[in-house]
Amino acid sequence: MTDATVTPSIMNPRPMLRKFGLPALLLGFVLLATLLSGGKFIQPDNLSVILFQSSIVGVLVIGITFVMLTGGIDLSIVGIMVLSAILMGAAGSERQQMMLLNDIVPYVGPFWALVMALVVAALLGFLNGVISIRFGIPSFIVTLAMGLMLAGVALMVTGGSPIYYPPDFYEVFGETRIFGIVAPVYAFLGLAVLCWWVLKSTRFGVSIYALGGNPHASQLSGIPVVRYQILAFTICGLVAGIAGGLFLSRTGFVAPSSGGDLLLGTIAAVVVGGVSLSGGKGSIVGAVVGVLFLSSLSNLMNILLISPHIQDAISGFFILGAITLSNRLES
Amino acid sequence: MSMNPSPAMTGHGFNWRTFVGQNDAYLALIVLIVIGGLISPEFLTTLNLKNLLSQSAVLGILAAAQFMVILIAGFDLSVAAVMALSSVVFAQFAPIGLAPAAVLAVLSGLGCGAITGAFVTLGRVQPLIATLAMLGIARGFAFTVSEKSLLVDSPLVVAMSKSWGIISVPMVIWLVIAALLSVFLYRSRFGLHCLAIGGREQTAALAGVPVQRTKFLVYVAAGGLSALAGIVLVIRTQSGVPHVGNGWELASIAAVVLGGTALFGGEGQLPKAMAGVLIYQTIANLMNQVGLNPYYQDIVRAIIILAVVGVGIFRVRQSERRVNRAEIGETE
Amino acid sequence: EGKGLVAFSQADMANEWRVMNTKEMEQAFKEAGYDFVWANANADPAKQLADIEDLLSRKPDLLVVAPIEFEPLAPVPRLAEEADTDLIVVDRALPGEPGTGKWISLVTIDFVDTGVRVAEDAVEQLTEKYGEPKGKLLHVTGNTGASPVIDEQTGLDQVFDQYENIEIVGTCDGRYARETGRSCTEDLLQAFSKGDVDGIIFDNDDMMMGGLSAISSQGRDELRGWLWGKDGTVEGLQAVLDGDMTFTVQTPPFFGGKALEVWEAAKAGNDVAPVQYVDKESFDNDTDAQMKRVEERIEELKALGVGCC
Amino acid sequence: MPDAVATLRNICKTYPGVKALDNVSLAVRPGEVLCLLGENGAGKSTLMRCLTGAEMPDSGEIVIDGTAYTALSATDGHALGIGMIYQESSLVPAMSVAENIFLGHEPSSGGMVNRRDLEARAVELMQRFDLRFPPDLPVRKLGPAQQQLVQILKALSRDLRILVMDEPTAALTQREIEHLFELVRTFRKDGIAIIYISHRLEEILEIGDRAVILRDGAFAAERKISETTEAQLIADMVGRNLDGKVSKKSHTGDKVVLSVEGLSSKGLFSDVSFDLREGEVLGLSGLVGAGRSDLLSCLFGATRRSAGTVRMDGAEIHPKSPREAIAHGMGLVPEERRADGLVLDRSVAENMAYPQLDRFVGPSGLRWSKLKAMSSQISERMRLRTPSQDQRVGLLSGGNQQKIVIGKWIAAGARVLLLDEPTRGIDVNAKREIYGLIEELTATGVSVILVSSELPEVLGLSDRIAVMSAGQMVAILDRDEATQINIMEHAFSRVSAGNGGIAA
Ligand SMILES: Nc1ncnc2c1ncn2[C@@H]1O[C@H](COP(=O)(O)OP(=O)(O)OP(=O)(O)O)[C@@H](O)[C@H]1O
Ligand SMILES: Nc1ncnc2c1ncn2[C@@H]1O[C@H](COP(=O)(O)OP(=O)(O)OP(=O)(O)O)[C@@H](O)[C@H]1O
Ligand SMILES: O[C@@H]1[C@H](O)[C@H](O)CO[C@H]1O
Ligand SMILES: [Mg+2]
Ligand SMILES: [Mg+2]
């Protein structure tokens, strides 16, 4: 480009701050945490605990990122997660079958239970997408309603009782260690890498950013906007289903009321991670960093034996401070 | 113009569609009430109507707070937690005197609102995340004030939980707040500025609207209103309850949207939002009235919410189809 | 048609205990020929109050309330009075005087006593270990602010306050759920290395099960046998048999039969005790007799359709 | 000569990667119409935004009444009597006309507003323009022209000493422009200083007293209007001499590429028929609201068709989405480029590639290097001014943005280009480049439908000119029979004086 109005920006300190401000902030946090905990925080053992604890929210965050990039939101992810975990556990275990108070779910064996649960999860996401995109009802409302509905369905399906005896697969999966780290963490990180690649290197990924930024212009540029928006919801549903599997593999247990506090935690993580509510902005990497940050914070407070009463208050102030600081650094 | 006159431009006679369009929330409420009267003999009794109105009071005041924040294109996820905080502050200090207790309770809400407002305006933190953080902070403080619920043993509070026909103290407080706030938002510069900020913040700023100050004040007001909801909660339950209201943040948003408020700001009428609250609460009341198995209640509620919002949106779409192109959808 | 209408206000349906509680309540009254309606407050006291108002406006003959919490339901006895409906409160208590006005009886569990039992067993075990009452414990609690949590804490404190060398060194809110119980335990185990603590008290068996997963996963087997729980669920009892959990207190969820009995007695003009405690039982694995009783209890529960196979 | 009301001194402003203003100075005196000229991206809007307080300069000062400010806020600007009609819409769509006009200075007592009073005052202002729509109508229900008028009223509603108008006429009809000019003349008489920005040189010659020309963010020249010519101004803007007239060779071939018969779209237009030949430019003329844009978007599959047939290369097509139309070889450059043409938050390269992302997908995913190579090739061909292919499109100036909107269709190899006001609000040089491009493309057989409200442009570029009036195609004129007069006659043919059309 031969252009007089363009001046090189190397002299400008802002891009540097923009680039390194956040990592510096995170590094600062890690140092602080290590100091405060007398080194316990940084122990490999503890780090692997944090990763494990992050895996469920982490997977949910990956799913919701797709939807949020399109400018939507999914408040039904936890509902989908729980229902699919219930299906995996109930339809996949004969022992569990005998325990269900309602006999709505048939026994189909572990493999087909898994498949069925994931298909149902994807279908529910698809339904969210179709209702909100085709009928133009804000996804906030559609998925809020879907979440309510699924809570009811979970109660109906189980008659209220929890899943205690899922197929052994989950327990084995949850306890298998590779290089000292449990399998669910690999599932989480693997999914993150896969989705990062999808967003960066596929037609769908590039289009998601476009339509999140300006759906109308994207439509006029030939991007199949509606199809991709619905696809984003479907992926989110499917991913929530995967989270259901991880949930089951953590304690071999799921109840219709499980995961009550995961929704706000997921949204907090994703927004702290820089994914914009209005669409078109944000990344998987940011979202995953958001999750790890919040999990580390909660782990740190537990290690420091901070009273559960004020943990929420402290993390509230921490989030406010961190975001304010990173905003300052960026502008 | 000759081809496509927009509905508002043609004549001034009574237009049935426009009428329905402008009063959809009220009509939906009336339909629901009529259905209620038909399917449940107890629904339209004085006792039940009193219950319904008194039950709506707490959510109603929270929804008024939520309404203001949504109007300026934000969300307030902290309303219920601030309410809980205010209720325990009130209960904690009630032995000293109800008046000072009420003042302290309201101050706690205003303080929370001020913190949120400061971070949103000065810290440029997204409202959703700022209020989510405030949710944690207010709950933390509530539990710090009192780990368990506190009974308020004052005869006055007990007296205030009495009722006269369909009239109850919570209902009166709610309606007075809603009425004053409606008039204020409709008639004041402040109200117009809120609409402008929610509609297009950049434009408002260029027009010299004190954007940051207005936003800050909205969060402070929302905090104060949430605190008032906390006091009404004490009147209803005779207690301050630190853990009350989980999930009410989303319920208040749903109610406001049921009342036709634009989810992303700039459009809405408080009286309609209050009708939305009544719709929300009537659904819950009716399901108990007809003895619907709680297993199915969530499902029914979800379907009704979807239907009401869906029909509203469909209708708006019909009436705006013609002029859609004129909208200059700047992405900002 | 039926003998009358019975309305039941349930606090929440968040765990198996509540599910059984509701099922048995419904069964008891329906089998006795009453119409039965119920509402679920989803752990929200304000909603429970509204539920009760709604149920009362249907003019039932009896209102049964399983309160979320004591204080916020203070108006309930007055509401029952105004509606001229008999009231029986089950599980947790309400402010006021059972046995006066329309409030026939309170059928409850003594939660403070539950805390005392757990603490006493812990003292006994620690004394056995060290030859004197001393040691360090962790505590994974139920939902912060919930009334059983607070009452049981009172019970624990009553006992531990007598022993200056027994200390609860770390607490975490496990919210009565298995997954959160696991996360709490994981973090606490990071804070306290092997040898730093002697055992963990859980506010219910579900969280204990989550904690057990954390213990296996982190290889902290020294804590097996040093876990306390509450509820006496089938899985909890199995853990007692396996030697993982050392002690649990059963809190039976069955109040329906008792409430029915009390009500019919009162209607017949008989005197009924205004406060009645349901029996509860502790389970331990120190002796063969105790082990045998645990096995029996598992069978009893299975016969009731709880637990499995 | 009276003293300056405002003086801008050595103003500098840098945006990421772009030096928008480089040491610019400017003074404006009461009672003069100072015209600000320059190519797209020359910095006109930015300079004025610094004056009104919408933007903060990096350095330099603004002197008003002898007081020097390093930066103003929007509120300061209003207090000092500086008003501006912004280039981009500055209305709140959901608020009423009256509310918009008085936004920020609502007549009120004790913070309370009397709406009746507000609306009465709005009506008073509207009468100056002969506007009759209800003051309580939400502005989003208005068409672009009326919205523009409301923006003008909004600026006029304040007591002004300086009025900046940034492309105020881009969406107006001739009649409204005349109203506006009358007003400008009244203001001039009242001693108000006016700064007028426009790319339409004939307007500048008509209304201006003095012109300041910016080039690449720096001061380039100052001219007295009475002593200058169009050619001179153009030369100042681009830094070299350019021929001001539009003309183009005909490349019309024999083959009918697109054949439209009886096309209707319910409520928008009806019974439109025409043929488009290979290499032909078919001009589409008409008044604002005649239905030209609707016709293009219907052809492009973006709005429903209710009757009629469309054939491409003889085969009937029925695109139900832009995607299908693109597959048939069409491309649409929409009227509102920021709203409909671009994803402002994404890069130049991505925007260029959207219509044909498939082309860059390899076995291991998108091939970014290939995509960027394409993008830089097109950028070069279009002489796009951007620091890099990764630049966010939103940061480029209007003309450069428009080049991207057109460029993506060139990249996609479109054979039928639907251009809706492709030169609206862009500078002479960029216009020229776009004209050249049309010529170049048609020479290679690309056919063009060109909607333009600038008659000289339509006349100069089109091989044939179709005229629409109130939703119907009323005439198709050959290049040599078309004149400004007969086009206008046709354009008005279905709009009776009584109901006035959209302009009334
Ligand atoms: N003032 C207005 N009120 C309502 N609708 C309007 C108005 N102005 C234009 N429209 C819309 O514009 C459409 C017809 O105009 P269209 O934009 O197709 O014509 P055009 O000849 O391309 O005019 P322009 O040059 O402004 O684009 C109509 O469908 C109508 O919805
Ligand atoms: N908000 C912004 N952020 C970054 N760059 C900007 C911004 N606004 C303008 N620019 C850049 O500053 C330069 C000057 O733009 P400006 O809008 O002032 O030009 P202009 O002369 O008004 O052009 P036009 O005739 O197209 O309106 C351009 O290169 C533009 O890309
Ligand atoms: O005692 C019971 C059970 O322990 C159950 O876990 C929850 O409700 C309490 O009241
Ligand atoms: Mg400009
Ligand atoms: Mg047009």
Closest atom of ligand 3 to CA, residue C251: 1
What SS3 state is found at B243? Answer: coil
Q: Which chain D residues contact residue B196 at CB under 8 A? A: 92, 95, 99, 103
CA angle C178, C182, C185 (to 5 degrees): 135
Last residue of a domain, one of D413, D448, D470: D413
Residue, of A274 and D409, whose pLDDT is higher: D409
Three-class secondary structure of residue D478 per DSSP: strand
Helix boundaries (H) for D239-364: 292-299, 322-327, 348-353
Same domain, D24 and D70: yes
Residue D47: helix, strand or coil by DSSP? Answer: helix
**Residue predicted with more confidence, B20 or D125:** D125
Helix (H) or strand (E) holding C184: helix C178-191
**D248 and D192 in one domain?**
no
A interface toward D at CB cutoff 8 Å? 1, 3-7, 9, 12, 14-15, 197, 200-203, 205-207, 209-210, 213-214, 216-224, 280-281
SS (H, E, C) A87-118: HHHHHCCHHHHHHCCCCCCCCCCHHHHHHHHH
Mean pLDDT of D60-78: 91
How many Cβ pairs closer than 8 A exist between chain A and B? Answer: 135
**Does D have 3 or more CB contacts under 8 Å with C?**
no
> What is the per-residue pLDDT across B255-272, written as a single tens digit (0 to 9) for each?
999 998 988 889 999 999
Distance of CA A325 to the CA centre of its chain: 24
Of D52, D112, D289, Cβ closest to residue B1: D289
Question: For testing the chain B interface, which of C44, C48, C52 should be mutated: the one with the most B CBs within 10 Å?
Answer: C44
Q: Is residue B27 part of a domain?
A: no
Residue of C292, C156, C144, C128 lying closest to C228 (CA atoms): C156
Question: A272 CB near a chain B CB, below 8 Å?
Answer: yes
pLDDT score of D179 more than 90 = no
Ligand 2 centre distance from Cα of residue D46 (Å): 6
B291:C37 CB<8 A: yes
Of residues C145 and D502, more confidently modeled: C145
Cβ separation of A259 and C179 shorter than 8 Å? yes
**Is D135 in the same domain as D218?**
yes
Q: Which residues contact B188 (CB under 8 A, 6 or more apart)?
A: D108, D111, D112, D113
D439/D446 Cα distance (integer angstroms): 9
**pLDDT at residue number C14:** 78
Domain shared by D128 and D171, yes or no: yes
Residues D268 and D232 placed together within one structural domain of the fold:
no
Whether domain A39-330 has CATH 1.10.3470: the reply is: yes
Residue for token pair 């039926």: C2
d(CA A293, CA C122): 37
Instruction: Give the whole-angstrom CA distance, residue A204 versus residue A207.
Output: 5
Calculate mean pLDDT across residues B73-97.
96
Is D398 a residue whose pLDDT tops 90?
Answer: no
In a mutational test of the pocket of ligand 1, which residue from D288, D333, D420 has the highest number of ligand atoms less than 8 Å from its CB? D288
* Lowest mean pLDDT across B7-11, C133-137, D38-42: B7-11
The band of D428, judged by pLDDT with boundaries at 50, 70 and 90, is: confident
User: Kindly report the CA angle at B211 between B206 and B215, in degrees rounded to 5?
Assistant: 160
Residue D32 is part of a domain; what is its CATH number? 3.40.50.300
- Boundaries of domain holding B286: 39-331
Using an 8 Å CB-CB cutoff, list residues of chain C that contact chain B: 10, 13, 37-40, 42-46, 49-51, 53-55, 57-59, 69-75, 83, 95, 143-147, 150
Please indicate if any CB of chain D lies within 8 Å of the CB of B8: yes
What tokens does D122 get? Answer: 């709005």
User: Which element (helix H / strand E) includes B230?
Assistant: helix B211-237
Q: Is there a domain that residue B200 lies in?
A: yes
CA D20 to ligand 2 center in whole angstroms: 6
Backbone angles phi, psi at D191, to 5 degrees: 85, 15
| CB nearest A305 (choices: C170, C178, C309) | C170
Pairing of strands D108-109, B167-168: unpaired
| pLDDT score, position B211 | 96
Q: Whose CA is nearest to atom 12 of ligand 1?
A: D289
- Residue A139: the pLDDT is 93
Same domain, residue pair D367 and D218: no
Please state, in angstroms and rounded to a whole number, the distance separating the CA atoms of residues D51 and D71: 8
- C121 Cα distance to chain centroid: 18
User: Pairing mode, if any, of strands D269-277 and D256-265?
Assistant: antiparallel
pLDDT in tens, A52-100: 999 999 999 999 999 999 999 999 999 999 999 999 999 998 888 877 7
**Weakest-pLDDT range from C20-34, C136-150, D234-248, D284-298:** D234-248
Q: Is the pLDDT of residue C20 over 90?
A: no
- Asked whether residue D336 is assigned to any structural domain, the reply reads no
The whole domain housing D266 covers: 243-329+415-504
Q: What DSSP character marks residue A133?
A: I
Residue B331 reports pLDDT greater than 50 = no
ipTM of the predicted assembly exceeds 0.85: yes
Residue B328 has pLDDT above 60, yes or no: no
Q: Which residues of C39-58 are buried (b: 16+ CB within 10 A; e: fewer)?
A: bbbbbbbbbbbbbbbbbbbb
Place of tokens 């000019």: D181
Q: What pLDDT score does B66 carry?
A: 98
Q: Is the dihedral of CA D168, D173, D178, D182 positive or negative?
A: negative
Q: How many Å apart are CA D461 and CA D440, to the nearest integer? A: 12
Q: Among D169, D204, D238, which residue terminates a domain?
A: D238
Q: In this complex, is the C-beta atom of B139 within 8 Å of any C-beta atom belonging to chain A? A: yes
Domains in chain D: how many in total? 3
Contact indicator for D501, B1 with CB cutoff of 8 Å? yes
How far apart CA C127 and CA C133 sit, in angstroms, is 4
Which chain A residues are within 8 Å of B308, Cβ to Cβ? none
The secondary structure element, H or E, covering residue B231 is helix B211-237
In B, which residues are within 8 Å of A138 by CB distance? Answer: 257, 263-264, 309, 313
Looking from the CA of B22 toward its CB, the CA atoms found within 13 Å total 7
Neighbours of C221 (CB within 10 A): 11
pLDDT digits (tens, 9 = 90+) for C77-105: 999 999 999 999 999 889 899 999 999 99
Asked if pLDDT for residue B17 goes beyond 80, the answer is no
Compute the distance between CA of residue B142 and CA of residue D209 in angstroms, rounded to an integer.
69
Q: What is the 3-state secondary structure (H, E, C) of C297-308?
A: HHHHHHHCCCCC
- For residue B137, what is the domain's CATH number? 1.10.3470
DSSP string, C234-253: HHHHHHHHHTSEEEEEE---
On the question of pLDDT at B1 being above 50, the answer is: no
Integer Cα distance of B45 and D104 in angstroms = 49
Q: What are D288's strand-pairing partners?
A: none
- Distance from the Cα of D333 to chain A's closest Cα (Å) equals 9
What DSSP string describes D11-46? EEEEETTEEEEEEEEEEE-TT-EEEEEESTTSSHHH
Q: Is D387 close to A3, i.e. CB distance below 8 A?
A: yes
**Which chain B residues are within 8 Å of A74, Cβ to Cβ?**
none
What does the pLDDT read at residue B4?
35
More confident residue, D454 or D301: D301
pLDDT digits (tens, 9 = 90+) for B227-256: 999 999 999 999 999 999 888 998 999 999
Low-confidence residues of chain A, pLDDT below 70?
A: 1-21, 101-102, 330-331
Average pLDDT, chain D: 89
- The residue of chain B with its CA nearest to that of C53 is B51
What would the two tokens of residue A235 be?
């992926």
Q: D194 and D80, same structural domain?
A: yes
Are the C-beta atoms of residues D277 and D324 closer than 8 Å to each other? no
Residue B146 has pLDDT above 80, yes or no: yes
Torsion sign over Cα D21, D25, D29, D31: negative
CA distances from B145 to B26, B85, B138, B161 (A): 41, 8, 10, 24
What pLDDT band is residue D201 in, cutting at 50, 70 and 90? Answer: confident
What's the sign of the alpha-carbon dihedral B25, B30, B33, B39?
Answer: negative
Of B26, B5, B18, B65, nearest to B272 by C-alpha is B26
Burial of B192 (0-12, 13-18, 19+ CB in 10 A): buried
Residues forming beta bridges with residue A279, ordered by sequence position: none
- Reported as a pLDDT band with limits 50, 70 and 90, residue D66 is confident
Tell me the CA–centroid distance for residue D471 and ligand 1, in Å.
10
Q: What number is the average pLDDT over the span B141-162?
A: 90
Q: What is the pTM of this model?
A: 0.88
Q: Are residues D248 and D122 in the same domain?
A: no
**Beta strand extents in chain B (DSSP E only):** 150-151, 163-164, 167-168, 239-240
Q: Dihedral sign, CA of D337, D341, D345, D350?
A: negative
Closest CB to B330: pick one of D89, D111, D502: D89
**Which of B 21-80 lie inside 8 A of A, CB atoms?**
77
* Residue D430 confidence (pLDDT): 84
Mean pLDDT of D39-47: 87
Angle between helices C16-31 and C256-267 (to 10 degrees): 40
Residue C297's contacts (CB-CB under 8 Å, 6 or more residues apart) are C232, C237, C250, C281, C283
Residue D108 in 3-state DSSP? strand
Q: Provide the domain count of chain B.
A: 1
Backbone torsions φ then ψ of C276, nearest 5 degrees: -130, 135
* Ligand 1 center from residue D296 Cα (angstroms): 12
Alpha-carbon gap, residue A222 to D258, rounded angstroms? 20
**Given the CA of residue D167, which atom of ligand 2 is nearest to it?**
27
For the record, the structure tokens of D325 come out as 């139309």
Domain boundaries, chain A: 39-330
> What angle separates helix A225-251 from helix A203-213, to the nearest 10 degrees?
110
Query: What's D105's DSSP letter?
Result: S
Which one of D208, D238, D268 terminates a domain? Answer: D238
SS3 C137: strand
What letter would DSSP give residue D331?
A: E
Per-residue pLDDT reduced to its tens digit, D202-229: 899 999 999 999 988 899 999 999 999 9
**CA C113 to CA D190: how far, in whole Å?**
91
> Distance between terminal CA atoms of chain A?
28
Q: Which of residues 196-235 of D touch A (CB under 8 A)?
A: 216-217
- Interface contacts (A, C; CB < 8 Å): 110
Instruction: Give the pLDDT score at D497.
Output: 40
- Regarding whether D408 and D453 lie in a shared domain, the answer is no
Specify the pLDDT at position D368: 94
Residue of chain A whose alpha carbon sits nearest to that of C208? A251
Count the Cβ atoms, other than its own, within 10 Å of residue D133: 18
* Nearest-atom index, ligand 3, CA of C142: 6
* pLDDT at residue C308, rounded to an integer: 63
Ligand nearest to the CA of D213: 2
Query: Hey, whose CA ends up nearest to atom 1 of ligand 3?
Result: C251
Ligand 2-lining residues (CB < 6 angstroms): A 5; D 15, 18, 20, 38, 40-46, 87, 395-399, 427
Quote the CA–CA distance of B142 and B246 in Å, as a whole number. Answer: 13
Query: Subunits that touch chain B (at least 3 Cβ pairs < 8 angstroms)?
Result: A, C, D
pLDDT tens-digit map of C141-180: 998 877 789 899 999 999 999 999 999 999 999 988 899 9
**Chain A residues whose beta carbon lies within 8 Å of the beta carbon of residue B119:** 320, 323-324
Indicate the residue of B124, B147, B302 with minimum beta-carbon distance to A327.
Answer: B124
Q: Note whether C190 contacts A299, CB cutoff 8 Å.
A: yes
Overall average pLDDT of the C298-305 stretch = 82
* Nearest of A246, A290, A327 to residue A64 by alpha carbon: A290
Tell whether B150 is within 8 A of chain C (Cβ): yes
Distances (CA, A) of C123 to C119, C172, C229, C285, C287: 6, 21, 15, 15, 17
Does the distance separating the beta carbons of C190 and A45 come in below 8 Å?
yes
- Answer yes or no: do D33 and D79 share one domain: yes
Which of A70, A77, A309, A328 is the best residue to mutate to test the B interface, defined by the most B CB atoms within 10 Å of its own CB? Answer: A309
At residue C56, the 3 state secondary structure works out as: helix
- Clarify whether residues D483 and D500 are in a common domain: yes
Using the mean position of ligand 5's atoms as its centre, give its distance from the Cα of residue D293 in Å: 4
D291 part of contact set with chain B, CB < 8 Å: yes
Task: Determine the Cα–Cα distance for residues D482 and D285; give it in Å rounded to an integer.
Answer: 11
The phi and psi torsions of A41 (rounded to 5 degrees) equal -60, -40
Q: Which residues line ligand 3 (CB under 6 A)?
A: C 15, 17, 91-92, 109, 148, 176, 204, 231, 251
Name chain D contacts of B330, Cβ cutoff 8 Å: 88-89, 338-339
